[in-house]
Amino acid sequence: MSPLVVAHRGASAHRAELTLAAYELAIEQGADGIECDVRLTADGHLVCIHDDVVDRTSSGTGRVSEMTLAQLSELDFGSWYDNEPQRVLTFDALLDLVTSSRPDLKLFVESKHPARFPGRIEWKVAATLGRYGLSKPETKDDARVVMMSFSTLAVRKLREYAPRLPTVQLIENMGKQGRDGWLPPWADYAGPGVDLVRADPGYVERCRAQGHDTYVWTVDAPEDVELCRDLGVRFLATNSPIKTREHLAGE
């Protein structure tokens, strides 16, 4: 089976990352799923921003966790990339888009878990998904939302607060146990970076032998797309859904 194509931060090769425009384009390009990073503002709102500061991707400066949603709303999150102004994207606005799109569109939510407030983001993510009717699928395969983090504590909290949703343990580096395909019991899928898979392609099969499919990021180079397809990776996060889909289709 061909991997499902997940738009990493939206169609972020073509539009400013994590903006409504990037997600609308990803859906237009036929992505099977979209990926977002979430952070908490000083006044308790979930926003889709990757870095802990807004400096790289907006017209402002400062830490997301020290700014209110009103302050973030004054900034332009698009012009740094392509001169198209974009407002900060709230998690609610992204869920409005998801719930008004194709019913089979999946959302991969990455908690950018701050060590300072363990569990707070995860609780809010789960509560917000519940408000949108997205937290209680019949089975994990029916779930529209998959939750993930690099932090094992965050993944454990996500499982605790939304037990019916699947989880990905994102992996940057792994010890011996990790290399064997082992995951903590609260994680369903392994989420290695593509460089780990390139260096050790057998990892995908070892995960499968332990009962875990894989979610691999960020897969843009044609040879990486082919490698992931040949290894039977289940989800593949890419910055250009259209190019990756074309490549998978052999075009």
* Binding partner of residue 77 among ligand G3P, Ca ion, none, CB cut-off 5 to 8 Å per kind: none
Distance of CA 243 to the CA centre of its chain: 19
Interaction between residue 220 and ligand G3P (CB under 6 A)? no
Question: Which position among 89, 237, 242, 248 is part of the footprint of ligand G3P (CB under 6 A)?
Answer: 237
Q: Is 50 a catalytic residue?
A: yes
Interaction between residue 110 and Ca ion (CB under 5 A)? yes
Cα 93 to Cα 89: distance, rounded to the nearest angstrom: 6
Question: Which position among 25, 95, 170, 196 is part of the footprint of ligand G3P (CB under 6 A)?
Answer: 170
Shortest Cβ 213–Ca ion spacing (Å): 18
* Binding partner of residue 228 among ligand G3P, Ca ion, none, CB cut-off 5 to 8 Å per kind: none
| Window of 88-96, 107-115, 119-127, 218-226 that interacts with Ca ion by CB under 5 A | 107-115
Tokens of residue 50, six digits: 């990757």
Cα 145 to Cα 159: distance, rounded to the nearest angstrom: 12
Burial per residue of 5-40, b for 16 or more beta-carbon CB atoms within 10 angstroms, e otherwise? bbbbbbbbbbbbbbbbbbbebbbebebbbbbbbbbb
The 3-state DSSP class for residue 247 equals helix
Shortest Cβ 238–ligand G3P spacing (Å): 10
Contact criterion met (CB below 8 Å) for 54 and 47? no
Shortest Cβ 168–ligand G3P spacing (Å): 8
**Chain contacts with ligand G3P (rule: CB under 6 A):** 8, 35, 37, 50, 110, 170, 217, 237
